Structure 1
Amino acid sequence: MTIDSAPIPVTLRWAVRLLWAEAVAVGLIAAWLVWADITATTTDLASALLVTAFAIGGAVALWALGRALLRRRAGARAPAIVLQLMLLPIGWFMIQAGLGWLGVPLMALGLGIAWLLVSPPTTRALGFE
């Protein structure tokens, strides 16, 4: 068994923590969607199941990317950044819909995690330098 002598940088640890927090939040939304699918009186079943599956897949992807980054898998950084940048248009449309109280923090969260993932300590820890 080998032990990596370099500690995991704070930027990478926080990026992983925030990715896992997002995964939990999306997982809770997915659980609510499952409940809504089961208790709905009328629904377009195919659309409901597709949206629910998308939420479950998003939660699993966020959790898996956080785990891979914690294990210093460099290939997990780009997909994690893409998922974070997807929060920008989501937040923008929320602002346009009058939900700025939610859209602005979502955009800040996405940019913050993306910054943590491209910061020099994280870049070094993932072996990009």
Structure 2
Amino acid sequence: MTIDSDPTPVTLRWAVRLLRGQAVAVGLVAGWLIFANLTATTTDVTSALLVTAFAIAVAVALWALGGALLRRRSGARAPAIVLQLMLLPIGWFMIQGGLGWLGVPLIALGAGVTWLLVSPPTTRALGFE
């Protein structure tokens, strides 16, 4: 029996959980986009496929980054932060468009996961200190 002398900090575990939760949510959106593409009567096929492929790629990236962070790969932190910071302008434009009920939580999620990823326990666990 081995004892892990350096357990994964709570901040890193929560960041991974939230990244994976985002991956599942974006994956569900991608599934809905696939359904919409297949059942649409008229559509711009190129645009529909590009939007769907982008959603799938983001879902895969979020899941993979969560896994890499769980394995303490320090190189995964910066791309994960970039994806989280992308939620800030998305949330802002949702607020401006009258969807504050969705925009405010997106901003909070992006800022919160970013904070988890740059917090001192996570920074130490990833070997930046």
Corresponding residue for residue 92 of structure 1: 92
Consecutive unaligned residues in structure 1, runs of 5 or more: none
Q: How does 1:1-129 map to 2 (within 5 A)?
A: 5-129=5-129
TM-score, L = length of structure 2: 0.97
TM-score, L = length of structure 1: 0.97
Aligned mates of 1:77, 1:56 — CA distance in 2 = 20
DSSP-derived class of the 1:113 partner: helix
Aligned mates of 1:43, 1:3 — CA distance in 2 = 57
**Which 4+ stretches in 1 moved above 6 angstroms?**
none
The CA deviation string for residues 73-105 of structure 1, in whole angstroms up to 9 with x for no partner, is: 000000000000000000000000000000000
Consecutive unaligned residues in structure 2, runs of 5 or more: none
DSSP-derived class of the 2:42 partner: coil
**Sequence identity (%):** 83
Q: CA deviation at 1:5?
A: 2.5
CA RMSD after TM alignment: 1.1
The amino acid that maps onto 1:23 is A
